[in-house]
């Protein structure tokens, strides 16, 4: 039956691929695709059927054993690290080769090579952001300064390449067959490029949008609607933390003038609102078994194949297990016999924009400190499938690459905006994870973090000795207050970063008195922290819900922490809805809304603010809030003028504290509106939308209405995706499962004498859509369940799917 389903899904996918190929000017070779000996039929077998007991791998020093459990999770047992990572590369490529290559080609701005001219603008943007450039810098830095790490990354690449070299046409991953191209060799550069790609996925900035907003509404109103700290700031590092260091003084220069430019460019894509992560650790004094417990669930785009690939990696010195990034060495989020760690996004502004003035059309010189200095031109050849190459010239200044100019998204002569970004600087993030993988204590954890620079991350820690910790880690620029919030003058040296905050002065805490550490993408600290920090995307709800539960909890078990990861409570709704209902009542009474409106009101009155998949109230609230938010701020939206709008937290505060504010007035209407008028109008729009949904689609229960879906990395490959996942939660909720984003990996570990761990992610170990291990975790994940994730010994023989011996 599975083969039949696979056949029909493939036919649909091939049809979509043909449509895509017609846009590219080429059509996939259907004869080869349908060849019974080499075509898609050979991808209909799962890995347990095609497994080999023995594999020859050149350059191994000693035998390596890989034991696969019932979920296709490999447990690699090697005698040394070089063998360990060589086999990790080979095994990962066995199951995720196409994904590894596709993601790094996207990071390098090479998607046009696969899909043709429709991706040229995407590739131009990627190259202009400097991802490939920054990976090249990292390769050179590690080769020159850390030959041991470089040797291990080379071993990983060698493992990948030996798999590629032995790959038959029959075993070629299906996507290569459909899109008609071949894998190319892996390299150190590609592994480091993958880590830069993650930095790009997790960073945002709205400098250009704030610049427009400042000119539109003025600095006073901007400061009111976008305060530096919220009223209810519950930061990553506990507010009572005393900072015991002497900060580097940073003084704002006098007479600062920002460029007075109206910015009419389509700005960089930003991370999806609500994308972030949760992590926390509780001290032994708060747990039932007297052992520290750690939990982590990164919230990212929900894709197939999954972003993560689970593994255990063992040498005689250490055994580590958790989630890997296919293409990178070691475990990214996981635990070993002594320590556990996890990561969330620290959402710090580490990208700034500078306006550049060129001397002439050649762009070989630009103005800095009132002198013309030399720029560097980088020629980017974008190869395009079925078409001639597209040549782009990217200008590099000392600030960084000029992303926007009159040749790209800017139509005016004065649009020359350079991007300064910490990810462009030399770094060695790979070393951080390799050191964490074999770390033994808090000191090792801190030492490992000293190599991590970008993206800014909150690293949580717990150990078998009962220690817990949190550190906000990254290379953070020293800025005067307000610096980097708006477009800056690239000619004026006063706008330069003042240096970097020393790593030892980054916000951190160790065994705090409250008995837990946590982060959920909120502000890193209270206002007492002596350095300026800013970001537009700090979280205001998940963090407070998480900390409230942890403060009140005692005798915590690992089951409690699993439930907390899947917590469905909608704190935003619990604070906003009573205000909205009160204003609705003021607007004229509930009896005027008809049968449907009154039914919806009654349902909302009864709501317990959970977001279970079978509830209808979340659909009502979310639709109502969507229309209300748009009505309030639509007056400032402009397709040609990018702006930033107040977040939902500040919008709720405005509804509560200033319901008569002129900010609620709709400029084009003939009356002067107050908050209650917009609440009433948005309620009526909600009634109309939900009524239409009922008439066309039936029940508006939350799972159906939200429509969570896990999409293949190639959007056209619809039948390799999974839609209508039956699960609850939403953005801003601890179970942050939205339509396309959510917990991409969940794990919980109790660091007792006998370590107990559970983990899950929404996908499967296999990257092959024809395998039964392609999506077998999805239902478990959607239900909030887990699989056993305990460390496995080499002598364990229970629940073995198969094993492979690697020899030279």
Question: What are the distances in angstroms from CA 729 to CA 83, 342, 456?
Answer: 42, 22, 26
User: E-strand spans in 103-248?
Assistant: none
Question: What are the distances in angstroms from CA 99 to CA 171, 484, 598, 605, 777?
Answer: 15, 35, 50, 47, 18
Instruction: Judge contact between 473 and 506, C-beta under 8 A.
Output: yes
Which member of 134, 191, 277, 463 is catalytic? 277
The Cα–Cα gap between 767 and 305 comes to: 5
Eight-state DSSP code of residue 252: P
Strand (E) or helix (H) holding 407: none
The Cα–Cα gap between 461 and 459 comes to: 7
Residue where the block lists tokens 């478990």? 780
**Closest among 24, 155, 48, 90 to 771, alpha carbons compared:** 48
- Strands 303-304 and 293-301, sheet pairing: unpaired
Query: At 157, is the secondary structure helix, strand, or coil?
Result: helix
Known binding residue 560? Answer is no
User: E-strand spans in 692-779?
Assistant: 711-712, 741-743, 746-750, 756-760
* Active-site residue flag, 277: yes
Eight-state DSSP code of residue 312: E
Phi, psi of 156 (to 5 degrees): -60, -45
**Closest among 8, 43, 14, 52 to 31, alpha carbons compared:** 14
* DSSP structure string for 559-597: HHHHHHHT----HHHHHHHHHHHHHHHHTT-GGGSHHHH
Strand (E) or helix (H) holding 193: helix 188-202
Joined together, the tokens standing for residue 786 give: 């887990």
Eight-state DSSP code of residue 701: -
Report the alpha-carbon angle 166-172-176, nearest 5. Answer: 130
Joined together, the tokens standing for residue 526 give: 């209270």
Joined together, the tokens standing for residue 105 give: 């080609």
Joined together, the tokens standing for residue 507 give: 């916000």
Report the alpha-carbon angle 173-192-55, nearest 5. Answer: 45
Joined together, the tokens standing for residue 227 give: 């305060």
CA torsion 768→772→774→776, rounded to 10°?
180
Instruction: Judge contact between 422 and 457, C-beta under 8 A.
Output: no
Residue where the block lists tokens 């819900």? 545
Residue 351's DSSP bridge partners are 421
Instruction: Judge contact between 765 and 73, C-beta under 8 A.
Output: yes
The Cα–Cα gap between 306 and 300 comes to: 10
Known binding residue 444? Answer is no
Residue where the block lists tokens 């990292």? 138
Which residues are catalytic, by number? 277
| Binding-site annotation, residues | 349, 352
| Binding-site annotation, residues for Ca(2+) | 349, 352
């Amino acid at each position: 039956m599975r083969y039949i389903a696979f056949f029909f899904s493939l036919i649909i996918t091939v049809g979509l691929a043909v449509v895509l190929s017609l846009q590219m000017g080429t059509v996939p070779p259907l004869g080869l695709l349908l060849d019974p000996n080499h075509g898609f039929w050979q991808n209909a077998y799962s890995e347990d059927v095609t497994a080999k007991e023995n594999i020859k791998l050149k350059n191994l020093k000693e035998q390596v054993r890989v034991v696969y459990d019932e979920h296709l999770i490999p447990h690699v047992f090697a005698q040394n690290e070089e063998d360990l990572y060589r086999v990790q590369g080979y095994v990962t490529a066995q199951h995720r080769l196409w994904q590894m290559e596709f993601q790094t080609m996207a990071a390098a701005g090479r998607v046009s090579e696969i899909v043709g001219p429709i991706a040229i603008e995407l590739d131009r943007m990627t190259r202009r952001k400097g991802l490939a450039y920054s990976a090249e810098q990292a390769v050179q830095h590690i080769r020159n300064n850390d030959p041991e790490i470089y040797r291990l990354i080379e071993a990983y690449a060698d493992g990948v390449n030996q798999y590629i070299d032995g790959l038959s046409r029959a075993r070629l991953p299906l996507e290569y067959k459909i899109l008609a191209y071949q894998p190319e060799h892996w390299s150190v550069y590609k592994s480091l490029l993958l880590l830069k790609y993650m930095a790009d996925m997790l960073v945002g900035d709205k400098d250009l949008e704030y610049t427009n907003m400042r000119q539109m509404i003025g600095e006073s109103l901007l400061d009111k609607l976008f305060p530096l700290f919220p009223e209810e700031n519950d930061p990553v590092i506990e507010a009572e933390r005393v900072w015991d260091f002497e900060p580097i003084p940073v003084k704002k220069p006098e007479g600062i003038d920002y460029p007075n430019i109206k910015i009419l460019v389509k700005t960089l894509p930003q991370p999806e609102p609500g994308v972030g992560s949760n992590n926390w650790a509780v001290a032994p004094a708060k747990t039932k078994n007297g052992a520290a417990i750690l939990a982590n669930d990164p919230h990212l785009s929900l894709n197939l194949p999954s972003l993560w690939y689970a593994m255990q990696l063992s040498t005689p010195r250490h055994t580590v297990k958790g989630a890997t990034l296919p293409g990178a060495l070691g475990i990214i989020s996981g635990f070993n016999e002594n320590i556990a760690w996890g990561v969330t996004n620290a959402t710090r502004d580490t990208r700034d924009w500078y306006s550049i003035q060129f001397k002439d059309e050649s762009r070989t010189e630009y103005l800095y400190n009132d002198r013309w200095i030399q720029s560097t031109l980088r020629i980017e050849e974008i190869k395009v499938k079925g078409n001639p190459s597209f040549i782009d010239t990217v200008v590099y200044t000392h600030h960084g690459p000029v992303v926007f100019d009159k040749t790209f998204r800017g139509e005016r002569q004065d649009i020359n905006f350079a991007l300064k970004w910490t990810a462009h600087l030399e770094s060695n993030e790979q070393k951080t994870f390799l050191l964490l993988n074999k770390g033994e204590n808090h000191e090792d954890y801190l030492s490992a973090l000293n190599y991590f620079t970008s993206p800014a991350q909150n690293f949580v820690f717990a150990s078998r000795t009962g220690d817990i910790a949190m550190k906000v880690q990254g290379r953070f620029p020293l800025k005067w207050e307000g610096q980097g919030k708006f477009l800056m003058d690239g000619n004026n040296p006063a706008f330069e970063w003042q240096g970097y905050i020393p790593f030892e002065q980054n916000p951190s805490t160790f065994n705090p008195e409250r008995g837990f550490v946590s982060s959920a993408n909120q502000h890193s600290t209270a206002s007492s922290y002596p350095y300026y920090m800013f970001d537009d995307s700090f979280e205001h709800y998940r963090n407070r819900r998480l900390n409230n539960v942890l403060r009140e909890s005692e005798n915590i078990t690992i089951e409690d922490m699993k439930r907390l990861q899947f917590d469905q409570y909608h704190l935003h709704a619990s604070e906003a809805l009573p205000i909205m209902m009160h204003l609705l009542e003021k607007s004229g009474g509930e009896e005027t809304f008809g049968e449907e409106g009154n039914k919806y009101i009654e349902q909302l009155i009864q709501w317990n603010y959970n977001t279970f998949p079978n509830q209808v109230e979340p659909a009502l609230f979310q639709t109502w809030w969507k229309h209300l938010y748009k009505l309030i701020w639509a007056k400032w939206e402009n397709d040609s003028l990018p702006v930033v709008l107040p977040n939902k937290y500040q919008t709720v505060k405005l509804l509560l504290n200033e319901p008569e504010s002129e900010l609620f007035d709709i400029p084009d209407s003939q009356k002067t509106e107050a908050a209650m008028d917009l609440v009433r109008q948005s309620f009526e729009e909600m009634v109309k939308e939900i009524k239409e949904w009922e008439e066309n689609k039936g029940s508006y229960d939350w799972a159906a209405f939200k429509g969570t879906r896990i999409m293949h990395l190639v959007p056209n490959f619809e039948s390799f995706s999974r839609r209508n996942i039956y699960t609850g939660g939403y953005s801003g909720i601890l179970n942050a499962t939205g339509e396309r984003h959510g917990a991409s990996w969940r794990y919980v570990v109790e660091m007792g004498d006998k370590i107990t761990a559970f983990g899950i992610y929404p996908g499967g170990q296999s990257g092959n859509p024809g395998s039964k291990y392609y999506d077998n975790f999805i239902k478990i994940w959607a239900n909030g369940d887990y699989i056993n994730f305990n460390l496995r010994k080499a002598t364990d023989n229970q629940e073995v799917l198969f094993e492979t011996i690697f020899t030279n």
